[in-house]
Amino acid sequence: MRVRQRRTKTRIRTTSALAALSALGLMSTLAGCGAGETDGQKVALTLVAADYGDSKANSSQKYWDDVVEAYEKDHPDVEIDVTVHSWNDIDREVKEMVDAGEAPDMAQIGTFADYAAAGKLYEVDDLLSIPVQGNFLGQLANAGKVRRVAYGMPFAASTRVLFYNKKLFAKAGIDDAPRTWDELATDAEALRAAGAKTPYALPLGPEEAQAETMQWLLGGGAGYVDNVGTYRLDSDDNVRTFTWLKQELVDKGLTGPTAPARLNRADAFEAFARGEVGMLNGHPSLMRMAEDKGVEFGTAALPGREGRSRAALGVTDWMMAFKQNGHQEEIGDFLDFVYADKNVLAFSRAYDLLPVTSSASQAMAEDEDAADLAPFLTELPSAELYPAGKTSWAEVSAAVKREIGTAVSSNAKPRAVLERLQETATVAERED
């Protein structure tokens, strides 16, 4: 569900006046103050946000410090307190706060549908000004809806493209990136013959298997849901996709020494940055990893069954606002400021992510310094996202992470695994 998943564990306060308070202690204090006013005049807003950095040096603290400082300078009656958590902890931390009746005013995390369905969130229409709402990229804004009502505001976006190692391609005598699955399999054979340790990295381990899976399903002409939004994990197209993966890549030993069910995305990226992987699906952060290790790489649109994939996978993280403490007007005004081009671009550039607004996307497309992000920007308008507006998606996604890798194991039958996942999805959908 996340644009980027990090292993660091960071917890940071940006407002010095509240720095000594823990998250739960802060919320208890604010609850005791009635409307969350710290001195009878100032309104104190709390935001719990994810950390997109991988060390203290590039933590999201700096971004939020800058945003809060600029906002508070012009709004002396509002005080913003930001707590930053690693991606390993953020969703759990927010859930614990909400379950304890101490919801933050705002949360920037990976999922929103459960909170929306429970009636805990403000509608986006009740928060943002019309120009800000209208500036969101259409498919991202639509993905933030539950039963056709918008609750989730896209905050950061990413798409996937095919990365390939230019040195390994040259050694294998491959001139161009593959456009079809058959070409990909042929190239993988050539890479293995040329000594590549992992011709194609297929990370179907539990870290982010739902992303790799969806990209292959899209390439096969289908996806997790059908045209009306009903789960169809065991569709004939999806069965053919995983049967092809098993027979043409995994069974032929073209996916490297680690079984796909045990290969996580982070490990696949690290192997690519070491120069061991010929091809894999990747998002923008892989560029910096590869460049830092001196790996020359190319990118291309992802191949599909008979041509380029019908769509790239798009991933979005979300901003949401809880109703518990009130402050609707102040929250909306602050979020209008957060989504100004200056702030959206600063965040996107800091973490190699894609802007979620039309104006910021246009500005990035015209920025020569961001030329390396052009392939990802090109894919974003037509990208397909997870069915994040379904409250059942969290359960279905977790099941995919646990089980999909077994669909390509040596004695597995892909159809049986997909049918089992469809049963899980059907039950979860019934309870949605």
The pTM (predicted TM-score) of the whole model is 0.81
Whether 17 has a pLDDT exceeding 80, the answer reads no
Across residues 2-11, what is the average pLDDT? 40
Q: How do residues 322-374 score in pLDDT, each as one tens digit?
A: 999 999 999 999 999 999 999 999 999 999 899 999 999 999 999 998 888 98
Torsion of CA 169, 266, 285, 152, to 10 degrees: 130
* Alpha-carbon dihedral 14, 19, 23, 24, rounded to 10 degrees: -160
Task: Give me the numbers of helices (H) and strands (E) for the chain, helices first please.
Answer: 18, 13
- pLDDT of res. 432: 65
Between the CA of residue 255 and those of 97, 216, 273, 346, 381, what are the distances in Å? 42, 15, 16, 37, 30
Which has the closest alpha carbon to 17: 8, 26, 9?
26
Average pLDDT, the chain: 89
Q: In whole angstroms, give the CA distance from residue 258 to residue 274.
A: 15
Counting residues of the chain whose pLDDT is more than 70, the rounded percentage is 91
* pLDDT tens digits, 197-233: 999 999 999 988 999 999 999 999 999 999 999 999 9
The label of the residue with tokens 């491959």 reads: 174
> Residues for the chain: how many in total?
432
Closest CA to 387 of 330, 314, 326, 324: 314
Question: Per 3-state DSSP, what percentage of the chain is helix, strand, and coil (rounded to 5)?
Answer: 45, 15, 35
* Rounded Cα–Cα distance for residues 162 and 168 (Å): 15
Give the containing element (helix H, strand E) for 43: strand 43-50
> Is 313:159 a contact under the CB 8 Å cutoff?
yes
Query: Mean per-residue pLDDT for 260-280?
Result: 96
pLDDT reading at 193 higher than 50: yes
How many CB atoms within 10 Å of residue 166? Answer: 12
Among 189-198, 207-216, 376-385, name the one with the lowest average pLDDT. Answer: 376-385
Q: CA–CA separation, 44 vs 427, rounded Å?
A: 42
The DSSP-derived string for 357-374 is BHHHHHHHHT-GGGGGGH
In the 3-class helix/strand/coil scheme, how is 81-137 assigned residue by residue? EEEEECCCCHHHHHHHHHHCCCCCCEEEECCCHHHHHCCCECCHHHCCCHHHHHHEC
Q: What is the arithmetic mean of pLDDT over 393-416?
A: 94
Angle made by CA atoms 281, 285, 289, in degrees to the nearest 5: 95
Nearest-angstrom CA–CA distance, 330 and 323: 12
Are the beta carbons of 421 and 204 closer than 8 angstroms? no
* pLDDT category of residue 35 using cuts at 50, 70 and 90: very low
Q: Can you say whether the dihedral through the CA atoms of 369, 366, 308, 3 is positive or negative?
A: positive
Q: Which residue has the tokens 């049963």?
A: 423
